[in-house]
Amino acid sequence: MANSSKKLSLLKKGEKCIVDSYMDENMQQKMLDMGCLPGEVITIDRFAPLGCPIAISVAGTVLCIRKDEAENILVKVID
Amino acid sequence: MQNTNKKLKVALIGNPNIGKSTLFNLLTGLHQKIANFPGVTVEKKTGSATIFNSATGDANYLEIVDLPGTYSLYPNSPDERIPFEVLCDPINEDHPDLVIILADGTNLKRSLFLASQVIDLKIPSVLALNMMDLVQAQGIKINPDELERRLGIRVCPIIARKSVGIEELKQALINHLPVPTTYVYDTTLIKPTLLAGICKELNLKSNYAALQIANHINTLDHFQISKEQQTNLKNLFVDVEYDENKIQSFESLERYKSIQQIIESCVRLPNEKKVSFSARIDKLLVHRIWGYAIFICILFIIFQSIFSLTEFPMNFIDETFTGFINIVKDFLPQGVLNDLIVKGVLAGIGGIIIFVPQIAMLFMFIAILEDTGYMARVSFLMDKLMRNFGLNGRSVIPLMSGVACAVPAIMSTRTISSWKERIVTILVTPLMSCSARLPVYTLLIALIIPPNYIGVFNLQGLVLMSLYLIGFIAALMASIVISGFIKAKQKSYFIMEIPVYRMPRWSNIGYSILDKVKIFLIDAGKIIIAISIVLWFLSSRGPGEKFEKVNQKISQLSSDTTNTQKRLHLESLKLEYSYAGQLGHLLEPAIKPLGFDWKIGIALVTSFAAREVFVGTMTTIYSVGSDENLTVKEKMRLEKDVLTGKPRYSVAVGWSLMLFYAFAMQCMSTLAVVRRETGSWKWPVIQFLYLSGLAYFTSLIVYQILK
C-alpha cells in the first residue's frame, strides 16, 4: 500500500507523502524552482473552505496549489 | 586610481517575500524611479546610491535595478522573463556590472538554486544572506566563510529589517568584486559543441548563459541580437537533438545535488521543529467560517476608511485648489489663455490630485495586507469562489475597491499574477458603482422615486442599494463572458508561496504609497490633462455666429455683477451653442430611443471628464427660468415634454439614465489608468466600446419597456 503512487489531490488533511514524480513538464520545472524535488516530504496542511486550493508544507515553506495542479503530482503516502 | 565618476550598474535579484524591497529601499532611499521594462507591463524600479569607500573616502555611484522576485532564471510568467533577459543578454540595456543576490538564510537550499544560476552566468556577484535573526531564532547554524569558499563569491550576512550588515554589503559592492571562477554546477557536459557555438556566436563568457539561451531559443524576442545572429543560432540546432524540458529538469536536479553538498558542508539544521506561529494564526484566519468573517470585517474597515477618512483631505484639496484657481484667474489677464489655463489645464490637474487621498489610503491597506502576508491567505480563501467567474482570488480587492473608485482599484490589479485574470479584472472593475456615480444617482432618485417607506425601508435607499447590486452582478456576469473571449497567453499556474506572518515594515508601506501616487500623477495625469483640455475646448468654443453673439454678450456683462439671472441664462445659451451643445444635438437622434434629449446629450459628453460633472452641467443648462431660487432638481422636475406635456423626467427616463450611468465608461481617468496598466490603447478602447454598448442597450430596453 505504502509503495503505490497516487495523486496528491487525493490525500486528506494532515497526511504526509513523498514526491515521486510530476506528470506535467512545465509544472515540474515550476515546482523544482521552488525546491519541491522528488524525494521531498509533503504535508497536507489544509484545504481552502471550498476544497480548493490546497495548502501544503514542503521544503521549508508553505505552498498553495489548486486541486487540478495537485492532480499532476504523483506521491507515495507515508504513515 | 579608478574612474569613480562612472556609474556602476547593479542588479538586485532574489526570491519573492524574502525582503528584497526592504533591501532596495535601504540601499537607495528616496532616489527611486519607477517605469516599465521595455515592451512589457512589468514594473521596473531603479534607484541610485552613493557609497563612500571606508578606506579611501572616494565616492562611488551605483545605479540599482530591482529585478522582479523569482525562484529561478527559467521564466514562467512575463515577470520572470525579465531576470533571464537582463542577466543572460550581455547587450541588454539593464545588463549589470554586478549582482546582489538576496538569499533567505532560513531556506538556504531554495535560495541557492537561483543564486547558483546567477553565479554560473559569470557576472561579479555578492550573496546577501538575509534573515540572520530568524536563522538564529530557529537554531540554524550557517558558516558564512565556508559558504563563501564553496560558492566562490563574497557572502554578507545581513538583517534587512533591522538594517544590520548593510554597510559591510555596501563596501563589498564597491571593492571590485571578481568574476566567479568556478561553476557551482558545470553544464559543459551537456551538449558541449552546441553551447560552445552559442558562446562564440553571441560572445558569451559563460556556458550556462549559452544553455539558458538554448532553452529559450524560440522566445528570444527581447534579445538584442541581429537577424543574422538569429539564423546562425537556429542553424546550430540543425541535426542536434535538443529537448529543452528534459535538459531543464536534468540540469535543475543536478544543480540541486551540488547545492546539497554545499549545504551539508556549511549549514547545520536543528533536530526538532516547532509548530510555527503562522500555522497557529492560520487556524483562525483561513478557518471556513472565521476566515471569511474576518476577511469581510477587514474589507469593511478598508471601504469605510476610503469613503469617510478621505472625505476631509479631498474637501481640503478641492477648496484649496479652487482658491488657487481663483487667484490665478484674477492674476492673469482676461482672455482665451486665462480660460484655457483655468478651465482646461488647472481643472484637469484639480481632477487628478483629488484622487490622491483615495489612492494613498487604498494602497496603504494593500501594502499592509501584502507585507504582513495576509494577502496570500485572501487568495487562498477566495480563489475557488472567484474562479467560477473567470477571476482570481486576488481579484476581490480590486473589485471591492472599485466601489470607492476604479482608478486605484485598477492600479491594484498588479498583484494578480495571471495575465488573463488580471485583464478580466481590469475590464469589469468600472462596473462596480464608484463614488462619482453617487451624486448622479441621488439627483435622479430624488427626481423619480417618491420618498416613501416600505415597512422600515426607505424606498429611495432601496433603489440606491439596488443600483450598487446591479453593478456588482453585471461585473460578475461580464467576467464570465469576457473570460470566454480572451485567450490565455500561456498556461499559468496558481502555485504560490504562503509566506509566514510578519509585522509590516512601515517604511516599505510609505514607499509603496509614494510609488503608486507618483505613477498615477505622472502617467495617468498626462492623459487626463489632455482630455480635460479637449473637453474645455468643446464646451467653451462653438461654431457659427450664434455662439459668438452670446459669448460677446457675456463678456459685456462681466463688469455688471448685479445681473446674475441674465448671466446664467446666457451661460446656458452659450453651452447650447458650443461644440459640446452641438454634439448634444447631434447625439439626440441616437439617444432619443433611450428617452434622452440634447440636454442630457451635453451632460453625457461633459461628464466624460468625471461622472459627477453631470450634476454641474445640468445645473448650467437648467439655469434658465424665471425663479432663480429653484434648485436644479426642482427645475428638472418642472421640465415638461414638449409633445406630451407630461414631466420630462419620467420614471422611464430616470431609470434609463441611472442604468446608463451605472454601466457606461464615463471616466477619462479610468481609461488613462487602464492604458497605463495594460501598456496599450487596445484594452481601454475595447473596454470603452463594450461598456458603452452595454449601457446603451440596457437603457434602450429599460426605457422602451417602462415608457
**Chain A contact present for B383, CB below 8 A:** yes
Query: What would the mean pLDDT of B593-609 be, rounded to a whole number?
Result: 87
CA pair distance B33, B49, nearest whole angstrom: 12
Report the 10 Å Cβ neighbour count for B30: 9
Query: What would the mean pLDDT of B153-171 be, rounded to a whole number?
Result: 94
Using CA atoms, how far residue B72 sits from A24, B292, B499, B662, in Å, is 18, 34, 18, 45
Q: Please tell me what DSSP assigns to residue B41.
A: -
**Residues whose CB is less than 8 angstroms from the CB of residue B22 and which lie 6 or more positions away in sequence, other chains included:** B160, B161, B505, B507, B508
Using CA atoms, how far residue B411 sits from B56, B398, B401, B529, B679, in Å, is 45, 8, 10, 19, 12
**Chain A contact present for B248, CB below 8 A:** yes
Position B326 pLDDT exceeds 60:
yes
CA pair distance A52, A70, nearest whole angstrom: 10
Check CB contact under 8 Å for B384 and A62. no
Of B278, B381, B495, the CB nearest to A49: B381
Show residues of chain B in contact with A49, CB under 8 Å: 286, 288, 291-292, 381
What pLDDT, on the 0 to 100 scale, is given for residue B71? 92
What pLDDT, on the 0 to 100 scale, is given for residue B657? 93
Cell of A49: 473552505
Task: Give the mean pLDDT of chain B.
Answer: 86
What pLDDT, on the 0 to 100 scale, is given for residue B180? 87
pLDDT digits (tens, 9 = 90+) for B606-617: 888 778 788 877
Which residue stretches of B40-191 are H helix?
78-88, 108-119, 132-137, 144-151, 166-174
Shortest distance between the Cα of A16 and any Cα of chain B, in A, equals 16
CA pair distance B65, B47, nearest whole angstrom: 7
pLDDT digits (tens, 9 = 90+) for B105-134: 999 999 999 999 999 999 999 999 999 999
The total domain count for chain A is: 1
pLDDT digits (tens, 9 = 90+) for B673-695: 999 888 889 999 999 999 999 99
Q: Which domain holds residue A49?
A: 5-78
Cell of B687: 473596454
Position A2 pLDDT exceeds 70:
no
For residues B129 and B144, the answer to whether their CB atoms sit within 8 Å is: yes
For the residues of B116-138, what is the DSSP string, one character each?
A: HHHHTTT--EEEEEE-HHHHHHT
For residues B401 and B306, the answer to whether their CB atoms sit within 8 Å is: yes
For the residues of B597-638, what is the DSSP string, one character each?
A: -HHHHHHHHHTTS-TTHHHHHHHHHTT-SS-TTS-HHHHHHH
At B347, the pLDDT band (50, 70, 90 cuts) reads confident
Residue B628 or residue B549, greater confidence: B549
CA-derived radius of gyration, chain B: 30
Do you find a cis peptide bond into B499, omega within 30 degrees of 0? no
Show residues of chain A in contact with B109, CB under 8 Å: 35, 59-60
For residues B626 and B616, the answer to whether their CB atoms sit within 8 Å is: no
Query: What would the mean pLDDT of B167-173 be, rounded to a whole number?
Result: 94
Cα–chain center distance at B197? 42
For B267, the 3-state DSSP assignment is: strand
Position B627 pLDDT exceeds 60:
no
pTM, 2 dp: 0.82
Select from B352, B322, B116 the least CA-distant residue to B212. B116
Of B288, B381, B497, the CB nearest to A61: B497
User: CATH number for the domain including A9?
Assistant: 2.30.30.90
Check CB contact under 8 Å for B498 and A66. no
Q: What burial class does residue B49 get, using C-beta atoms within 10 Å of its C-beta: 0-12 exposed, 13-18 middle, 19+ buried?
A: buried
Helix, strand, coil share of chain B (percent; to 5): 60, 10, 30
For the residues of B195-233, what is the DSSP string, one character each?
A: HHHHHHHHT-S-HHHHHHHHHTTT--TTS---HHHHHHH
For B58, the 3-state DSSP assignment is: coil
What pLDDT, on the 0 to 100 scale, is given for residue B450? 84
Check CB contact under 8 Å for A53 and B291. no
Cell of B224: 538584442
Domain chopping of chain B, boundaries: 192-268
Polymer length of chain B: 707
Question: What ipTM score was computed for the predicted complex, to two decimals?
Answer: 0.93
Q: In the block, which residue shows the cell 545588463?
A: B95
Shortest distance between the Cα of B529 and any Cα of chain A, in A, equals 43
Scan residues 646-705 of B and list those with Cβ closer than 8 Å to A.
none
Query: What would the mean pLDDT of B446-472 be, rounded to a whole number?
Result: 85
Strand order in the sheet with B32-36: B32-36, B43-52, B59-66, B8-14, B98-104, B125-130, B154-157
Of A29, A61, A64, the CB nearest to B248: A29
**Chain A contact present for B384, CB below 8 A:** yes
For residues B74 and B248, the answer to whether their CB atoms sit within 8 Å is: yes
Contact pairs from chain A to chain B, CB under 8 Å: 106
What pLDDT, on the 0 to 100 scale, is given for residue A3? 62
For residues B459 and B452, the answer to whether their CB atoms sit within 8 Å is: yes
Q: Please tell me what DSSP assigns to residue B59.
A: E
pLDDT digits (tens, 9 = 90+) for B348-398: 788 778 878 888 888 899 889 888 989 889 889 988 989 899 898 888 888
pLDDT digits (tens, 9 = 90+) for A17-50: 999 999 988 888 889 998 999 999 999 999 998 8
Query: What would the mean pLDDT of B45-67 be, rounded to a whole number?
Result: 92
Strand bridging mode B141-142 / B453-454: unpaired
Cα–chain center distance at A64? 10
**Chain A contact present for B168, CB below 8 A:** no
CA-derived radius of gyration, chain A: 11
Q: Phi/psi of residue B141, each to 5°?
A: -115, 120
Nearest CA in chain B to A32: B252
Q: What is the 3-state secondary structure (H, E, C) of A23-55?
A: CCHHHHHHHHHCCCCCCCEEEEEEECCCCCCEE
Position B99 pLDDT exceeds 90:
yes
Percentage above 70 pLDDT, chain B: 94
At B1, the pLDDT band (50, 70, 90 cuts) reads very low
**Residues whose CB is less than 8 angstroms from the CB of residue B210 and which lie 6 or more positions away in sequence, other chains included:** B194, B195, B196, B198, B199, B202, B204
Check CB contact under 8 Å for A45 and B491. no
**Residues whose CB is less than 8 angstroms from the CB of residue B544 and which lie 6 or more positions away in sequence, other chains included:** B577
Nearest CA in chain B to A36: B110
What pLDDT, on the 0 to 100 scale, is given for residue B564? 66
Q: Please tell me what DSSP assigns to residue B531.
A: H
